[in-house]
Chains A and B, each alone.
Chain A
Amino acid sequence: KAGVTQTPRYLIKTRGQQVTLSCSPISGHRSVSWYQQTPGQGLQFLFEYFSETQRNKGNFPGRFSGRQFSNSRSEMNVSTLELGDSALYLCASSLANGKNYGYTFGSGTRLTVV
């Protein structure tokens, strides 16, 4: 079966712009989580969506937002980009049925803000 698909793979934006990243989970997975990975901070949790509702949220400013559609696909948006937003953004999906806690990650979107 197809894995978690993230688009685009690479993105270059300038400060002040906004960006939208997309994630298509594994078929049947209803939970989608977003992470930011930077060299010094490891994997930082952004938010998790389940059945179109945000279920968990990390400690990121309001410039970071997301949503999930009825087909479980998710998007995250970052507005007013800052240089420090340059990172690898990872999406992970899971069944989230209370028994399977394993997350499957996509390959990520590498965002560079210049």
Chain B
Amino acid sequence: DQQVKQNSPSLSVQEGRISILNCDYTNSMFDYFLWYKKYPAEGPTFLISISSIKDKNEDGRFTVFLNKSAKHLSLHIVPSQPGDSAVYFCAASNAGNNRKLIWGLGTSLAVNP
């Protein structure tokens, strides 16, 4: 049972445009969400996070939006750059399970020059 779902395995966008990566979750107890980026042959690196008390968090070109009623979050990258091409993982946690991270399967983003 996939509690965190990234329904798009891949996404392709043009350089300079917006990339929108989506993530849905089923557990209403999740209260903290993170996005990680992973290049081939490397471990994932932390990108941005959001607490459930917020609906938006911004860090440079990266913004995460949280819609708790829809149990949906999205990562916006504006403007997209070729170096953003990577696999993006969404993860969620809650205090009830010792903050164990539950991961989505990832979305592979390709930014074309």
Is A84 close to B, CB under 8 A? no
Kindly specify which of B42-50, B64-72, B76-84 makes contact with the partner chain.
Answer: B42-50
**A101 CB → nearest B CB, Å:** 6
Once the chains bind, are A105 and B45 in contact (CB under 8 Å)?
yes
Bound Cα distance from A110 to B41, whole angstroms: 9
Kindly specify which of A11-19, A41-49, A61-69, A70-78 makes contact with the partner chain.
Answer: A41-49
Q: Which of A33, A44, A96, A103 contacts B46 (CB 8 A)?
A: A103
Is A51 close to B, CB under 8 A? no
Q: Chain A residues with Cβ under 8 A from B42's Cβ?
A: 107-108
Instruction: Encode contact with B along A88-114: 1 for CB under 8 Å, 0 otherwise.
Output: 001110001010011111111010000
Once the chains bind, are A101 and B34 in contact (CB under 8 Å)?
yes
Instruction: Encode contact with A along B16-54: 1 for CB under 8 Å, 0 otherwise.
Output: 000000000000000010101000011111100100000
Bound Cα distance from A104 to B45, whole angstroms: 7
Interface residues on B, range: 20 to 34
Once the chains bind, are B34 and A96 in contact (CB under 8 Å)?
no
Once the chains bind, are B43 and A108 in contact (CB under 8 Å)?
yes
Chain A to chain B contacts (Cβ below 8 Å), 28 pairs: A4-B43, A33-B101, A35-B103, A42-B89, A42-B103, A42-B105, A43-B89, A43-B103, A45-B100, A45-B101, A48-B100, A55-B98, A56-B100, A92-B44, A96-B99, A101-B32, A101-B49, A102-B34, A102-B46, A103-B46, A103-B101, A104-B45, A104-B46, A105-B45, A106-B43, A107-B41, A107-B42, A108-B41
Question: Which residue numbers of B lie inside 8 Å of A, CB to CB?
Answer: 32, 34, 36, 41-46, 49, 89, 93, 97-106
Question: Which residue numbers of A lie inside 8 Å of B, CB to CB?
Answer: 4, 33, 35, 41-45, 48, 55-56, 90-92, 96, 98, 101-108, 110
